[in-house]
Amino acid sequence: FLSLSLQAKMSRPVQARRLEGIEKNIWVEFVKLAATYSTVNLGQGFPDFPPPDFLKEAFMRALSGENHMLHQYTRGFGHPPLVKILAQFFGKLLGRDLDPMTNVMVTVGAYQALFCCFQSFVDEGDEVIIIEPFFDCYEPMVKMAGGTPVFVQLRPKAPKDGKLMSSADWQLDPAELASKFSERTKAIVLNSPNNPLGKVFSRGELELIADLCVKHDVLCISDEVYEWLVYDGKEHIRIASLRGMWDRTVTIGSTGKTFSATGWKVGWTVGPNRLLQHLRTTHQNSVYHCATVAQEAVAQGFQRELELYGKPESYFIQLPKMLQQKRDWLVQRLDAVGMKPIVPEGTYFLVADISEFKSEVPDVPDSDEPYDSRFAKWMVKNKGLAAIPLSAFYCESHKNNYNHFIRFCFAKEEATLKAANDILQKWKREKTSP
């Protein structure tokens, strides 16, 4: 008995080497904090308003309609009606004929699309360039694939004439970017519009990246999940449409952001077959496919959007219009309380400078935890307002360079935004009164 129970307890290490150093995750911690304390949650990026009726109705029809085969497996690389409409839709946007079967693959959210890219393209010893601040999963995903992330920072420039800073003031230094490319570079990850800053990369910036990709024969993993959330008449430019880029780019999109339905977890990749054939191998051998009913509903959503493309009734016109108003309102409210906002050109995130609130949460010199992270935790616990520290979007060695900003998500109902504003106003009054 004794020897059996000894044997039952494993003594050899169970964790695979590829998990070393990536166990900690900011979202686990902050999602738990927001759930533990009664909070107004402007932290994690999801809308608290419903998706459009046409999408919900399409889901209900798919669920309860006569075609009971929609409850069964579908084609692994994407439900045929969805890949067909995505090929049509993105073919139109990219100005090229796309084959639904080889140029499009459906994934379990953009998240799995990213995972497939890193697993399919990155080998031990390969370097992958990541632009900071970055959507945090890029770094562990590159490491899990055996690659080495190489970071290059968007550097803020002070705005002119006391104006509020814009996400456009955060720019790449061309020489610094060029210095990161070498014969070891396999890919660069581009995220425009960028989470967390809301930066929409200009044509000039994209051409700079594209030229370096072509010169060094590097792949581009282009995370465009916020493609429709662009404000002030700015244009979202797809890097795959630039000269020399189609052949080396995988473009990633998501129903979560496109149709305000993050829980559906339907994402997609668009690109040349020479790249997508490898994504299919990883997809086939990991998740196989994503929920058929959800794919059917998203296909119908895109069908509607194709018919209404560019028209005022289009959701891709209405959603940014609605979000721009929310952005403007939050910018103005944050500015009024002294949490200096960086006005985002896109996405539903807004980064604000918390320096003026430093006296509230004193600095702890030599602490391992960046100041903004302690500040955000303190704010959830003491003020009931959740936001995400900007340092979470930097690699370990750069975290402390950008530790006085927090990110708010403004894809929220008016009541939620008002409740957040009430907290900030009250806080400001308490702060200034002796």
Q: Which of 143, 102, 195, 244 is nearest to 409 (CA)?
A: 195
Q: Which of 58, 70, 110, 116 binds ligand PMP (CB under 6 A)?
A: 110
Residue 320 binding ligand PMP, by CB under 6 A: no
Instruction: Give the nearer residue to ligand PMP in terms of CB position, either 40 or 110.
Output: 110
Residue 223 binding ligand PMP, by CB under 6 A: yes
Q: Which of 120, 185, 254, 269 binds ligand PMP (CB under 6 A)?
A: 254
Beta bridge partners of 406: 352, 389
Q: What does each C-alpha distance from 1 to 5, 9, 10, 369 come to in angstroms?
A: 6, 13, 16, 47
Instruction: Give the nearer residue to ligand PMP in terms of CB position, either 256 or 346.
Output: 256
Beta bridge partners of 230: 346
Q: Which of 43, 100, 256, 344 binds ligand PMP (CB under 6 A)?
A: 256
From the list 142-150, 182-190, 254-262, 401-409, the region that binds ligand PMP by CB under 6 A is 254-262
Q: Which of 262, 314, 318, 400 binds ligand PMP (CB under 6 A)?
A: 262
Cα-only R_g, the chain:
22
From the list 98-106, 107-115, 155-163, 276-284, the region that binds ligand PMP by CB under 6 A is 107-115
From the list 103-111, 233-241, 362-370, 396-404, the region that binds ligand PMP by CB under 6 A is 103-111
- In the complex, least distance from residue 275 CB atom to ligand PMP, rounded to whole angstroms: 18
- In the complex, least distance from residue 191 CB atom to ligand PMP, rounded to whole angstroms: 5
Instruction: Give the nearer residue to ligand PMP in terms of CB position, either 137 or 424.
Output: 137
> Count of CB atoms within 10 A of residue 311's CB?
10
From the list 48-56, 108-116, 319-327, 418-426, the region that binds ligand PMP by CB under 6 A is 108-116
- In the complex, least distance from residue 433 CB atom to ligand PMP, rounded to whole angstroms: 38
- Note if the bond before 133 is cis, omega within 30 degrees: yes
Question: What does the alpha-carbon distance between residue 248 and residue 94 come to, in Å, rounded to a whole number?
Answer: 14
* Stretch 150-209 residues interacting with ligand PMP (CB under 6 A): 191, 195
Q: Which of 47, 100, 140, 267 binds ligand PMP (CB under 6 A)?
A: 267
Q: Which of 117, 225, 290, 411 binds ligand PMP (CB under 6 A)?
A: 225
Instruction: Give the nearer residue to ligand PMP in terms of CB position, either 405 or 427.
Output: 405
From the list 3-11, 98-106, 109-117, 382-390, the region that binds ligand PMP by CB under 6 A is 109-117
Residues in the chain: 434
Instruction: Answer whether 221's CB lies under 8 Å from 134's CB.
Output: no
Residue 78 binding ligand PMP, by CB under 6 A: no
- In the complex, least distance from residue 110 CB atom to ligand PMP, rounded to whole angstroms: 3
Q: Which of 109, 198, 341, 370 binds ligand PMP (CB under 6 A)?
A: 109
How many residues lie near ligand PMP (CB under 6 A)? Answer: 13
Q: Which of 34, 40, 45, 373 binds ligand PMP (CB under 6 A)?
A: 45
Binding site for ligand PMP (CB under 6 A): 45, 109-111, 135, 191, 195, 223, 225, 254, 256, 262, 267
